[in-house]
């Protein structure tokens, strides 16, 4: 679909997207409350997320699905927009649960829906509560759950990749499961962090080769996983490295309440 131009048309499209998001979001909430079993609730959420993207004129292409390990794994991806969670819900099988900042648990309806589909909430700013959340996530990983993390912990108005926090990689290393990097493109243009009106356009996910974990290596394993996954995503993404001095001379402006450099996940 061609890019929408002209403020009245953009505004009409934004209203249209808001209406279909509300209707399909309410349908997803009803399904999450009514359907028995986590797998059925996640499958319904996946179907409705895919329907939203199609009706909104944001066709989703996923490459590399065969690289998803049939057994337990941890998927890590770059974070560029509020659409990212919905896009990965549409893309990934129902066996995956998302690790999300704890603030989302307090959002009316959204928090209820996320709990019903088995999302894991983690505290980013309180060290003690964050440690307890991390232990819970690790227990679930040890029980065979596959998880999705956005290890930057936030996103910025400036395109590029922020530093990765280690929570996802500690979980993978201790559970002995592979880390699978993934790159999402197009969500920043579709729903910009700058607050611009949404626009239609293609969204793509590339699932990259798995990185095996070595649980015998201790803390070094988590660091190695983090660095290898970040480098793979950075190379595939083709955006600036915001941890480099030239790109990070000024603190990146974030849209999650605090500077990205203060966030923890």
Residue 260 has pLDDT above 70, yes or no: no
Q: For residue 225, what are the CA distances in angstroms to 135, 149, 243?
A: 19, 13, 18
Sign of CA dihedral 161, 163, 167, 173: positive
Mean pLDDT of 238-264: 56
Paired sense of beta strands 203-207 and 179-185, if any:
antiparallel
Highest mean pLDDT among 27-36, 161-170, 174-183: 27-36
- Residue 116's nearest CA partner among 29, 212, 10 is 29
Q: Which residues touch 28 (CB under 8 Å, ≥6 apart)? A: 44, 45, 48, 49, 113
101 token code pair: 């900042």
**Model confidence band, residue 75 (pLDDT cutoffs 50, 70, 90):** very high
Residue 6 has pLDDT above 90, yes or no: no
Mean pLDDT of 171-182: 89
For residues 135-161, one letter each, b for 16 or more C-beta atoms within 10 angstroms of the residue's C-beta and e for the rest, the string is: eebbebbeeebbbbbbbbbbbbebbbb
Residue 53 has pLDDT above 70, yes or no: yes
Q: Which of 60-74, 120-134, 184-198 has the lowest average pLDDT? A: 120-134
Mean pLDDT of 34-42: 94
- Residue 13's nearest CA partner among 142, 230, 157, 190 is 190
Mean pLDDT of 1-11: 67
Domain boundaries, the chain: 7-262
The Cα 67–Cα 72 span in angstroms is 12
Alpha helix segments (H runs only) across 84-217: 84-91, 110-116, 127-142, 167-175, 187-190
The Cα 141–Cα 136 span in angstroms is 9
**Structure confidence by residue, pLDDT tens digits, 201-250:** 999 999 999 999 876 656 788 899 999 999 999 999 999 999 874 544 34
Paired sense of beta strands 96-101 and 74-77, if any:
unpaired
pTM: 0.84
Any idea which fold 7-262 has? Glycerol-3-phosphate (1)-acyltransferase (3.40.1130)
């Amino acid at each position: 679909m061609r890019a929408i131009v002209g403020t009245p048309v953009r505004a009409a499209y934004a209203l249209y997207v808001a209406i279909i998001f509300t209707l399909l979001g309410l349908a997803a909430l009803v399904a999450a409350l009514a359907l028995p079993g986590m797998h059925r609730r996640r499958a319904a959420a996946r179907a409705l997320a895919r329907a939203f993207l199609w009706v909104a004129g944001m066709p989703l292409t996923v490459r590399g699905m065969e690289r998803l390990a049939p057994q337990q794994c941890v998927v890590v991806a770059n974070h560029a927009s509020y659409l990212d969670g919905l896009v990965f819900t549409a893309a990934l099988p129902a066996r995956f649960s998302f690790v999300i900042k704890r603030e989302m648990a307090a959002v009316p309806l959204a928090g209820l829906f996320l709990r019903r589909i088995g999302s894991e909430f983690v505290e980013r700013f309180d060290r003690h509560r964050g440690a307890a959340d991390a232990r819970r996530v690790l227990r679930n990983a040890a029980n065979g759950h596959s998880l999705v993390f956005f290890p930057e912990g936030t996103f910025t108005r400036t395109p590029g990749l922020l530093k990765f926090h280690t929570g996802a990689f500690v979980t993978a290393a201790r559970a002995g499961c592979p880390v699978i990097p993934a790159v999402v493109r197009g969500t920043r243009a579709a729903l910009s962090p700058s607050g611009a009106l949404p626009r239609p356009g293609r969204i793509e996910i590339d699932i990259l080769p798995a990185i095996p974990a070595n649980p015998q290596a201790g803390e070094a394993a988590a660091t190695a996983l983090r660095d290898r996954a970040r480098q793979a995503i950075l190379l595939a993404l083709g955006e600036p490295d915001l941890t480099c001095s030239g790109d990070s001379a000024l603190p990146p402006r974030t849209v999650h309440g605090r500077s990205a450099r203060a966030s923890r996940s």
